Amino acid sequence: MKKYFIQTFGCQMNVYDSWRIAAMLDARGYKPTNDVADADIIILNTCAVREKATNKVFSALGRVRDAKKPSALFGIVGCVAREVGANAFHRIPELNFVLGPQSYHKIPQILENPDARLLNIDLSGLEKFDELPQMVTSPTVCYIPIQEGCNHCCTYCIVPYTRGQELSRSFDDVMRDTKHAAQTGAVEICFLGQNVNGYKYTAPDGTIYRLSDLIRETAKIPEIQRIRFTSSYPTEMSDDLIGMFAIEPKLLPFLNMPIQSGSPDVLKRMNRPYSLDGYMEIINKLRAARPDIQISSDFIVGFPGETDSDFEQTLDIAKRVGYINSYSFKYSPRPHTAAAIMPNQVPENIKKERLAILDSLLNDIQHEFNDSCVGKTMMCLYEGSDKTGQHLIYRTPYMQQCVVRGTIPESGEKISKIKITGASKASIRGEFVND
Ligand code: SAH
Ligand code: F3S
């Protein structure tokens, strides 16, 4: 029996793509393995967003090369494949295939013709979703890509190069995948896109579908109890979408809407053309629609030319919005991006210092929010048990991890009512409420 090993780096989009690649190999009779040495085909699905991510991929490639069976097929797919292209074969001559983020469905070609090298980093379309078979079972939280690529061209970001121009999948295709997920085990749907709230599909009859239409339709599926989406671009937060937070209880009161920096000068150089006032106005509209909504953000510190006062403004906006669950990164110069050749690159030690200051503030804000949840009751989604087997892990509607003592409810319900009894920086604790 042939076996496959898949290692996934980076974003949820890659996680989903790996599921579909696995489904394709399952359908061909392959079995999964966690042991590289035992695998007949090894696939690394990669991320290139920061230099560290790319370096991590190359160290993993080196390890796999040393551990694998000589006969095993060995390939790299995803954003690093697209970033380095044919050069990957020079760096790791043992590689059999290098496939970009839109070419995963070409993997069968290498199975049929294992002696040829396969390189495909075209960004021609999203036919991979049609050509890869569906998963037989879906995870409780199922990601569904609705849109890929990005037209925003932030000056630091390699994604428009690696994933290409923005493309939205057809409404019918997305709903078919969503219904399939619901029928095969999903309870929560998370719509994915690099610019997910920019989703726009024009049907042949001229009807235009938006993300709000997908949410409305998905909420009608009885098995689906929670809906969310990521990642949103601030100025694409349209009124119809904001309105969904007011009328659709299945839509979780949590939104990732990255601001990146609190300095208007830095935002301009990042090519993120919104003002702080404009951004705050969107937050206010969201809070008017759903008073309990919580927002998270991505931040970049040490963007070229960022001064102490620019950085102070980032701290200010983080406090003003009170972001929970945020991600912060040191600026990393990437090939194929405009910011990599901008003057006044910020030295590493300053980036490191600023990141530590911002992280500490974000942790304090998160801790404060976690504290404020104590005493409240929330409907939480079961994720699994911890290593000791004594605690269950749940996810709150705000994406906090909630540790619960006890055993899984006999009803088999994935969603339970939980009273929050304690809080720390990283998680909260709770107990089942039996009504
Ligand atoms: N909208 C996309 C964002 C992709 S990149 C999505 O979530 O699908 C994710 C985050 O990585 C960005 O929001 C940004 O904060 C960070 N990032 C992107 N390029 C970066 C770079 N060159 N250096 C540091 N961080 C970066
Ligand atoms: Fe990257 Fe900016 Fe698009 S962060 S994915 S270019 S919105």
Residue 23 lies in a domain: yes
Same-domain status, 231 and 156: yes
Residue 197 lies in a domain: yes
Could you read off the pLDDT of 72-106 as tens digits, one per residue? Answer: 999 999 999 999 999 999 999 999 999 999 999 99
Same-domain status, 111 and 213: no
Same-domain status, 108 and 183: no
Highest-pLDDT range among 118-127, 130-139, 158-167: 158-167
Same-domain status, 143 and 113: no
pLDDT of residue 254: 98
- Please identify, among 120, 146, 166, the residue that sits at the C-terminal boundary of a domain: 120
**Ligand number nearest to the C-alpha of 298:** 1
Q: What is the mean pLDDT of residues 216-221?
A: 98
User: Do residues 427 and 403 touch, judged by C-beta distance below 8 A?
Assistant: yes
Ligand 2 atom closest to residue 298's alpha carbon, by position in its atom list = 4
Neighbours of 1 (CB within 10 A): 6
Same-domain status, 89 and 189: no
- Please identify, among 235, 252, 269, the residue that sits at the C-terminal boundary of a domain: 252
Q: What is the mean pLDDT of residues 214-229?
A: 98
Rounded to an integer, what distance in angstroms lies between the CA atom of residue 155 and that of residue 152? 9
CATH number of residue 231's parent domain: 3.30.750.210
Residue 267 lies in a domain: no
Question: Which DSSP state fits 33?
Answer: -
Ligand 2 centre to CA of 74 (Å) is 30
Residue 401 lies in a domain: yes
Q: What is the mean pLDDT of residues 5-30?
A: 95
Same-domain status, 106 and 188: no
Strand bridging mode 147-148 / 226-230: unpaired
Ligand 2 centre to CA of 236 (Å) is 13
Same-domain status, 101 and 40: yes
Q: What is the mean pLDDT of residues 221-232?
A: 98
pLDDT of residue 241: 98
Distant-in-sequence, close-in-space partners of 211: CB < 8 Å, separation ≥ 6: 146, 191, 196, 197, 199, 229, 241
Could you read off the pLDDT of 363-405 as tens digits, one per residue? Answer: 999 999 999 999 999 999 999 988 887 899 999 999 999 999 8
pLDDT of residue 311: 98
Could you read off the pLDDT of 42-59 as tens digits, one per residue? Answer: 999 999 999 999 999 999
Residue 336 lies in a domain: no
The protein residue whose alpha carbon is closest to atom 7 in ligand 2 is 152
Please give the residue range of the domain that contains residue 35. Answer: 3-120
Per DSSP, the residues of 69-136 read -TT-EEEEEEHHHHHHTTHHHHH-TT--EEE-TT-GGGHHHHHH-TTS-EEE-----STHHHHSPPPS
Does residue 161 have its Cβ closer than 6 Å to ligand 1?
no
| pLDDT score of 184 more than 80 | yes
Compute, in degrees rounded to 10, the torsion defined by CA atoms 168, 171, 172, 174: 70
Same-domain status, 172 and 111: no
| Dihedral angle sign, alpha carbons of residues 65, 70, 72, 75 | positive
Band of the pLDDT at 7, cuts 50, 70, 90? very high
Could you read off the pLDDT of 281-303 as tens digits, one per residue? Answer: 999 999 999 999 999 999 999 99
Same-domain status, 7 and 112: yes
- Prediction pTM value: 0.96
pLDDT of residue 434: 82
Ligand 2 atom closest to residue 271's alpha carbon, by position in its atom list = 2
Residue 207 lies in a domain: yes
pLDDT of residue 267: 98
Residue position matching structure tokens 């029928």: 183
pLDDT of residue 48: 97
- Please identify, among 218, 252, 286, the residue that sits at the C-terminal boundary of a domain: 252
Same-domain status, 41 and 90: yes
Which amino acid, residue 305? G
Same-domain status, 86 and 115: yes
Question: Which DSSP state fits 170?
Answer: P
Does residue 326 have its Cβ closer than 6 Å to ligand 1?
no
pLDDT of residue 127: 87
User: Which residues have CB under 6 Å of ligand 2?
Assistant: 150, 152-154, 157, 159-160, 194-195, 233
| pLDDT score of 25 more than 80 | yes
Based on the structure, what is the number of domains in the chain? 3
Ligand 1 centre to CA of 196 (Å) is 14
CATH number of residue 100's parent domain: 3.40.50.12160
The protein residue whose alpha carbon is closest to atom 8 in ligand 1 is 194
Across the chain, mean pLDDT equals: 96
User: Do residues 396 and 378 touch, judged by C-beta distance below 8 A?
Assistant: yes
Higher per-residue confidence, 132 vs 38: 38
CATH number of residue 425's parent domain: 2.40.50.140
Same-domain status, 116 and 144: no
Residue 340 lies in a domain: no
pLDDT of residue 249: 97
**Ligand number nearest to the C-alpha of 351:** 1
Residue 316 lies in a domain: no
Ligand 2 centre to CA of 152 (Å) is 6
Q: What is the mean pLDDT of residues 220-238?
A: 98
Band of the pLDDT at 39, cuts 50, 70, 90? very high
Ligand 2 atom closest to residue 158's alpha carbon, by position in its atom list = 1
Does residue 260 have its Cβ closer than 6 Å to ligand 1?
yes
Q: What is the mean pLDDT of residues 116-128?
A: 90
Q: What is the mean pLDDT of residues 253-274?
A: 98
Ligand 1 centre to CA of 340 (Å) is 14
Could you read off the pLDDT of 234-244 as tens digits, one per residue? Answer: 999 999 999 99
Percent of the chain with pLDDT over 90: 91
| pLDDT score of 435 more than 80 | no
Band of the pLDDT at 424, cuts 50, 70, 90? very high
